[in-house]
Structure formats: C-alpha cells, structure tokens
C-alpha cells in the first residue's frame, strides 16, 4: 500500500500511526489533526524512532486535509473522547459533525480510499461516513468487533490462566452496552468455553466485556482507551494492505443479512484489499438473534437523531 491517512492525532490516532509505520503497512503515513503543531510534533517524533525501530515508512503530520490526497486507506479517529459518566452515545452530535466534515474531505481528495471508522459512537459514525463520502458500503467499515472480542478473549484468558493466543471468540452487534458476545462460538484451544466455565462465570465475563471501555475510562478519568483500539485498527489495516482475506468481526453495513437493513453493526466479515469482501452469516439461536436485533435497534435510534 502506498499511502495511509490517519485523521485525529490524539491517543488512538497517534498510536495507530506508530503501529502502522512500524509494521511498514504503507510507504507513507499522513497524520492529520486540526490542532496546530500536534500532528507535526508527534509525526516528527515517530519519524525519529525509525532508525531505532528499523522501519522506512515516511510519517508526516499536518493540519491540511489536502495532504490526504490519493490515500489508499483512511482511518478516522477524530472526535471527542469519553469522560467518566459519559456513554458512547453522549458523543453523538459533536462527533457526527466532525466525522461528517472529515468524510467530505476524504471524498474530495481521496475518492478511491477505503475508510476505517474508529470514532464513537462507532456504528453511527460509520453510517455518517458512508452517507457523507457516498462510497460503496464495502469501502466503509467500522472498527469495533475486533476490540470487543480482544477484551472478551483477554478476560477469558485471565480467568482461566491460559494464553490469550489459545482463546477464540466473537463479539457481534453495536459497539456499546448492547453488544453481543457469543459464548457458543467461544473456545480455548478448540475446547468450547461452556465446558470450561459455568454459566455464572460466563455471564460475568460477558458483562465485563460490555463494560470494558467504561472500566478504562473510570481509571483514566480524562480520556478513554487507546492501546487496544489502536491494535485492533492496525489489524484491520494489515488485512486490507496485505489482502489477507481475514475473517474478522467488524462493523459492516447490512442490507438484509441477519434480517437487518440500513444499519452498521458488528458481524463477521472477510476483510481484504477491496475492504469488506463479504459478510458472513453464522447461525444464531432465537435469543442471540433477538439480542443482535436489540443492538441494531439502538444504532437505528441514534441514526434517527441525526439529519441527512
């Protein structure tokens, strides 16, 4: 991949830029932010780490949206972060304006780019980006399920005192309190989770996963998570840059899949050079289907609060 733009030089955007550069996922990384000096300073600092970390990706920081021109992929992290007592939905109006403006700039200067949306509330912001860019849906995807699944997998590994590498799990639905972890599709080295933990313990893990972001916000006080979100975003960038055809839980635009329409929610997708190359429908129980619909309804309600 030749060029990746990352919009938002805060903690998530800057950490993503660093990881993308260190893995040499593109020849050039452009870090864009409205705050004067911040992207330039962070970009230069990262660039000066290149001789030590041994990467040749060029990193530049800028305040000029035109610098995104001809990007192959753009990651949108811009927006205000959560503070204690705030839900992701509390960010709705402010971040919709920010993501909308960013998306219009992307459409103007990088009309062939794939867009990964990270800003919260994630599923609604992906919808905003879709409408404001006018791109086909397979080129606008949200980062959510990988992060939620990573948290779920970590909590499982911690509880069982096993390696995180052996834990496989999916979390579907919206990136919020109504997300849908799926214990039936969760295993440790191929062993179903339900054979390793009782239902009470599994329910506790599911609830902690749903509150995983708020737990970190509660500790930080003045910000929200960024190391794990940056790792999850970088995994998506790598799948696209290397055309790996990874099966990953991402926020995708549904047009009838799972019985849902005109909404972004987390589902398993095949992620490759063309973005979302297919949406994979897995079998769900009536209870799981109802939970996924409830999660999608929450996203619909927030979309309805915006005007397009």
Task: Please give the positions annotated as active site.
Answer: 175
52 close to 83: Cβ distance less than 8 angstroms: no
> What are 134's two structure tokens?
């006018």
SS3 98: helix
Long-range CB pairs of 234-237 (<8 Å, 24+ gap) are 234/16, 234/19, 234/20, 234/23, 234/25, 235/146, 236/116, 236/141, 236/143, 236/146, 236/271, 237/4, 237/16, 237/20, 237/25, 237/73, 237/75, 237/116
Q: Do residues 156 and 185 make contact, with C-beta atoms less than 8 angstroms apart?
A: no
Q: How far is C-alpha 267 from the chain's CA centre?
A: 12
Residue of 100, 16, 276, 237 whose CA lies nearest to 266: 276
Radius of gyration of the chain (CA): 19
Q: What are the C-alpha distances in Å from 286 to residues 82, 192, 258, 260, 289?
A: 33, 20, 12, 15, 5
């Amino acid at each position: 991949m030749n060029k990746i733009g990352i919009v938002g030089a805060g903690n998530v955007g800057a950490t993503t830029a660093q990881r993308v550069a260190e893995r040499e996922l593109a020849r050039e990384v452009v870090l864009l932010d409205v705050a004067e000096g911040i992207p330039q300073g962070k970009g230069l600092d990262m660039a000066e780490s290149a001789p030590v970390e041994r990467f040749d990706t060029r990193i530049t920081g800028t305040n000029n949206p035109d610098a995104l021109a001809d990007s192959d992929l753009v990651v949108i992290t811009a927006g205000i972060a959560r503070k204690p007592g705030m839900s992701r939905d509390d960010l709705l109006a402010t971040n919709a304006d920010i993501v909308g403006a960013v998306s219009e700039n992307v459409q103007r200067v990088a009309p062939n780019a794939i867009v990964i949306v990270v800003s919260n509330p994630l599923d609604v912001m992906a919808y905003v980006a879709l409408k404001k860019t006018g791109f086909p849906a397979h080129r606008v995807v949200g980062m959510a399920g990988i992060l939620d699944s990573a948290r779920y997998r970590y909590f499982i590994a911690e509880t069982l005192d096993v390696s995180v590498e052996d834990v496989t799990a999916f979390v579907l639905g919206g990136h919020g309190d109504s997300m849908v972890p799926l214990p039936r599709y969760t295993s440790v080295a191929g062993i179903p989770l339900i054979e390793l933990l009782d239902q009470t313990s599994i329910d506790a893990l599911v609830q902690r996963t749903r509150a995983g972001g708020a737990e970190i916000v509660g500790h930080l006080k003045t910000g929200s998570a960024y190391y794990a979100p940056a790792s999850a975003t970088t995994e998506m960038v790598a799948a696209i840059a290397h055309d790996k055809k990874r099966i990953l839980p991402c926020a995708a635009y549904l047009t009838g899949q799972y019985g849902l329409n005109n909404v972004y929610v987390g589902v398993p997708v095949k992620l490759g050079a063309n973005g979302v190359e297919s949406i994979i429908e897995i079998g769900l129980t009536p209870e799981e289907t109802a939970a996924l619909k409830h999660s999608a309804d929450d996203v619909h309600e927030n979309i309805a609060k915006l005007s397009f």
